[in-house]
Amino acid sequence: LDFYADWCVECKRMERNTFPDTGVQALLEGFQLLQADVTENDDLDRELMGAFDIIGPPAILFFDRTGAEMKAYRLVGYFDPVEFSRHLQQVLGAQ
pLDDT < 50 stretches in the chain: none
Question: Do residues 81 and 15 lie in contact, with contact meaning Cβ atoms separated by under 8 Å?
Answer: no
Question: How many residues are listed for the chain in this entry?
Answer: 95
Q: What is the pLDDT of residue 82?
A: 98
Q: What are phi and psi of 94, to 5 degrees?
A: -85, -15
In this prediction, residue 95 carries a pLDDT of: 76
How confident is the model at residue 70, as a pLDDT? 97
Mean confidence (pLDDT) of the chain:
97
**What confidence score (pLDDT) does residue 47 get?**
97
Q: Which of 49, 78, 74, 45 is nearest to 61 (CA)?
A: 74
